[in-house]
Amino acid sequence: MSLFSPRLLRPRYDILMRLITLTLALALGCAPLAAKEEKSKTAERLDDSASLFSEIMGAPDKSIPQDLLDKSYCIVLVPGLKKAAFVVGAKFGRGFSVCRNPNGPGWGPPAAIRIEGGSVGLQIGVSSTDVVLLVMNEGGMKHLTSSQFTIGADATAAAGPVGRSTTAQTDALMNAEILSWSRSRGAFVGISLDGATLRNDIDENQAMYGQRWESKQILGSGAKPPAMADKLLAALNKYSSRRTH
């Protein structure tokens, strides 16, 4: 009998088809679990962002100046930006950008972002830093709604001041599209993030909205914010519900 006889090949074909069916079933069964886990992580990051902002604004003498916050168009919160360094330094974090509600007081729906950057130098260590950015004008907001942009190269930036109010308006503060701060080991200070790149986080947006939206489809769109963002929006509205001119 030939090795290629249909009667000999049939059992092998049946086994192969069963393996393919089993593999597909396992993949389809795991997909909802993976999506549920990603959604849970997104909700946790949103709550971490809300806690970060509330803790910073809860210490008036060491917070974002109220007048700058009230003038801002958007805010970016990145809880726990990871920084690792061994000769070449690198930064990576996931967070959210939120802009003012275009249809009235309050803040609009959050869009997920990733922040990435690097530096070169003799350094060693690993640390986690919270990052806050204020977008101060329409130019900065335009960058924020693009697919990606680099701070310092595409958008002008300056280290933000800390305190109740900005008593001295420097040229850097008045002309900057973005003001930036960081919090590490309890200290909240203005920092320069030149060279860091912000890009859309499509996967995180899908976890929030069920759609693979980009930032431009969310920020300023008037879309309904997801319920998991309620804590973050409540914190933002508590400290600055209206933008002042």
Mean pLDDT of the chain: 84
| DSSP secondary structure code for residue 242 in this structure | S
pLDDT digits 0-9 by tens, 16-31: 677 777 766 666 665 4
| DSSP secondary structure code for residue 161 in this structure | P
Report the pLDDT averaged over residues 205-232.
93
Q: Is residue 112 in a domain?
A: yes
Q: Is residue 5 in a domain?
A: no
Domain span including residue 71: 51-239
Is residue 76 predicted with pLDDT exceeding 50? yes
Q: Is residue 229 in a domain?
A: yes
Q: Is residue 185 in a domain?
A: yes
Q: Is residue 46 in a domain?
A: no
Q: Is residue 18 in a domain?
A: no
60: pLDDT confidence band, cut at 50, 70 and 90? confident
- C-alpha–C-alpha distance, residues 68 and 20, integer Å: 59
Per-residue pLDDT, 33? 47
Per-residue pLDDT, 31? 45
Range of weakest confidence among 10-14, 48-52, 83-87, 226-230: 10-14
Q: How many domains does the chain have?
A: 1
- C-alpha–C-alpha distance, residues 93 and 87, integer Å: 20
**In sequence order, what E strands does 100-154 have?**
111-135, 148-150
205: pLDDT confidence band, cut at 50, 70 and 90? very high
Per-residue pLDDT, 19? 74
For residue 226, the surrounding DSSP H or E stretch is none
Reading the block at residue 126, the tokens are 């690993």
- C-alpha–C-alpha distance, residues 244 and 102, integer Å: 14
Q: Is residue 3 in a domain?
A: no
For residue 230, the surrounding DSSP H or E stretch is helix 230-239
Q: Is residue 25 in a domain?
A: no
